[in-house]
A and B are shown apart, each in its own frame.
Chain A
Amino acid sequence: MSTGRLRRRSSLHSLWRIRSYVRPYAHQMLLMTAAAGIAVGASIVVPLITRSVVDGPISHGDRSGLVPLGLLALALGVLEAGLVFVRRWVQSYAALGMETALRDDLYAKLQGLPVAFHDKWQTGQLLSRATTDLSTIRRFLSFGLVFLIINIATFVTVIALLVHLYAPLAVLVAAAAVPLFLISRNLSKAYLDTSRRVQDQQGDLATLVEESAVGVRVIRSFGRRDHVGHQFRSGARTLHDSAVDKATLVARFWSLFDLVPSVTLGGVLLLGSLAVTEDAMSLGDLVAFVSLMLMLVWPIESLGWILANAQEAMTAADRVYDVFDTESEIVDRPGAVDVGAAEGHLRFEGVGFSYASSSHPVLRRVDLEVRPGETLAIVGVTGSGKTTLTSLVPRLYDVTAGRITLDGRDIRDIRLTSLRRLVSSAFEDATLFSSSVRDNLTLGHSDASEDEVSEALEIAQATFVHDLPWGLDTRIGEQGLSLSGGQRQRLALARAVLGRPSVLVLDDPLSALDVHTESLVEEALRRVLSRTTALLVVHRPSTVALADRVALLEHGTITAVGTHSELMETLPSYRAVLSQHAEEVTAR
Chain B
Amino acid sequence: MTASGLDAWRGVAAEGNEELTGQATIRLQRRSRRLLGSLLRPHHRTLWFAVVLLLLQNAAAMSGPYLVKVGIDRGIPAIDKGDGPTVLVVVTAAFLVAAVMEYLTKRAFLVTSGRVGQAVLYDLRTRVYDKFQRLSPAFHERYTSGRVISRLTSDVDALGELLDGGIDDLVLAALSVGSVGVILLFLDLPMGLVTLLSFPLLLLLSRWFRRNSAIAYRRTRESVALVIVHFVESLGGIRAVQAFRREPRNQEIFAALNNDYRRANERAFKLIAIFAPGIKLIGNVTVAVVLVYGGYRVLGGHTEVGVLAAFLLYLRRFFEPMQELSMFYNSLQSASAALEKLSGVLEETPTVAEPHEPVPLPHATGRVDLDNVRFAYREAIVLPGLDLHVPAGQTVALVGATGAGKSTVARLVARFYDPLEGSVRLDGIDMRDLAEKDLRRGVVMVTQENFLFSDTVAENIRFGRPEASDDDVEAAARAIGAHEFIAALPDGYDTDIGKRGGRLSAGQRQLVAFARAFLGDPAVLILDEATSSLDIPSERLVQRALRTILADRTALIIAHRLSTVEIADRVLVLEQGRIVEDGSPAELVSGGGDYAGLHQAWADSLV
Contact = CB atoms under 8 A, between A and B. Distances in A.
Contacts of A232: 125-126, 129
B576 interface: no
Interface in B535-593: 535-538, 540, 544, 560, 562-563
Contact of A58 (B9, B238, B299, B444): B299
Given A484-B402, A485-B528, A495-B244, 18 more contacts: A66-B292, A88-B269, A89-B273, A96-B265, A111-B238, A127-B228, A132-B153, A220-B416, A229-B129, A236-B122, A262-B64, A273-B72, A273-B88, A283-B76, A381-B538, A427-B240, A478-B144, A580-B536
B3 A436 contact: yes
Interface in B586-602: 598, 601-602
B107 A251 contact: yes
18 contacts: A77-B288, A85-B277, A89-B273, A104-B258, A127-B228, A131-B154, A215-B451, A217-B451, A233-B126, A294-B316, A298-B320, A382-B511, A434-B233, A439-B10, A439-B11, A446-B249, A484-B407, A517-B402
Interface string B26-41: 0000000000000000
A57 interface: yes
Contacts of A216: 132-133, 137, 140
B287 A77 contact: yes
A92 B528 CA distance: 53
Contacts of A374: none
Contact of A214 (B76, B236, B416, B502): B236
A283 B72 contact: yes
A386 interface: yes
Interface residues of A, number: 189
A475 B67 contact: no
A481 B125 contact: no
Given A222-B440, A269-B71, A119 B119 contact: no
B182 interface: no
A214 B444 CA distance: 18
B133 A247 contact: no
Contacts, number: 541
B237 A433 contact: yes
Contacts of B560: 486, 512-515, 518
B13 interface: yes
Give the residue among B117, B132, B242, B540 with the most A Cβ atoms within 10 A. Answer: B242
Contacts of B529: 485-486, 512
A248 B111 contact: yes
Residue with the greatest number of chain A CB neighbours at <10 A, chosen from B72, B148, B240, B274 = B240
Nearest to B88: A273
Contact of B132 (A213, A381, A427, A540): A213
B422 interface: no
B12 A436 contact: yes
Interface in B36-95: 64, 67-68, 71-72, 75-76, 79-80, 85, 88-89, 91-92, 95
B25 interface: no
Given A118-B235, A127-B149, A225-B436, A63 B299 contact: yes
B429 interface: no
B419 interface: no
A512 B532 contact: yes
Contacts of B238: 111, 115, 118
A435 B61 CA distance: 58
Contacts of B536: 539-540, 577-580, 583
Contact of B280 (A80, A251, A578): A80
A223 B436 contact: yes
B242 A476 contact: no
B145 A213 contact: yes
A107 B255 CA distance: 9
Interface stretch (B192-200, B304-312, B367-375): B304-312
A163 interface: no
Interface stretch (A21-29, A68-76, A145-153): A68-76
A521 interface: no
A-B pairs with lowest CB-CB distance, top 4 = A223-B440, A77-B284, A247-B114, A436-B11
Contacts of A156: none
Given A209-B149, A382-B511, A485-B529, A475 B12 contact: yes
B376 interface: no
B320 to A, nearest CB: 7
Given A237-B122, A266-B92, A583-B540, A383 B140 contact: no
Contacts of B153: 127-128, 131-132, 202, 205-206, 209
Interface in A453-486: 464, 469-470, 473-479, 481-482, 484-486
Interface in B391-418: 401-403, 407, 414, 416
Contact of B262 (A99, A481, A577): A99
Nearest to A248: B111
Contacts of B76: 273, 276-277, 283
Contacts of B115: 244, 247
Contacts of A587: 540, 544
B239 A545 contact: no
Given A57-B299, A119-B502, A206-B153, A69 B242 contact: no
Contacts of B280: 80-81, 84
A259 B103 contact: yes
Contacts of A562: none
Contacts of B231: 107, 123, 126-127, 130
A164 interface: no
B305 A283 contact: yes
Contacts of B444: 221-222
Residue from the set A100, A124, A541 with the largest chain B CB neighbour count within 10 Å: A100
A70 B295 contact: yes
A508 B533 contact: yes
A544 to B, nearest CB: 8
Contacts of A432: 237
Contact of A274 (B3, B79, B125, B251): B79
Interface in B277-299: 277-278, 280-281, 283-285, 287-289, 291-292, 295-296, 298-299
B243 interface: yes
B235 A73 contact: no
Contacts of A478: 140-141, 144-145, 233
A581 interface: yes
Given A115-B242, A240-B118, A88 B103 contact: no
Contacts of A525: none
A512 B533 CA distance: 7
A50 B308 CA distance: 10
Interface string B196-232: 0000000000000000000000000000100111011
A214 B88 contact: no
B508 A383 contact: yes
Interface in B135-162: 137, 140-142, 144-145, 148-149, 152-154, 157
A93 interface: yes
B89 to A, nearest CB: 7
A97 to B, nearest CB: 7
Contacts of B157: 132
Contacts of A92: 265-266, 269-270, 273
A31 interface: no
B607 interface: yes
A258 interface: yes
A420 interface: yes
B110 A53 contact: no
Interface in A213-257: 213-229, 232-233, 236-237, 240, 243-244, 246-248, 250-252, 254-256
A226 B247 CA distance: 39
Contact of A88 (B276, B436, B440): B276
Contacts of A74: 284-285, 288-289
Nearest to A82: B277
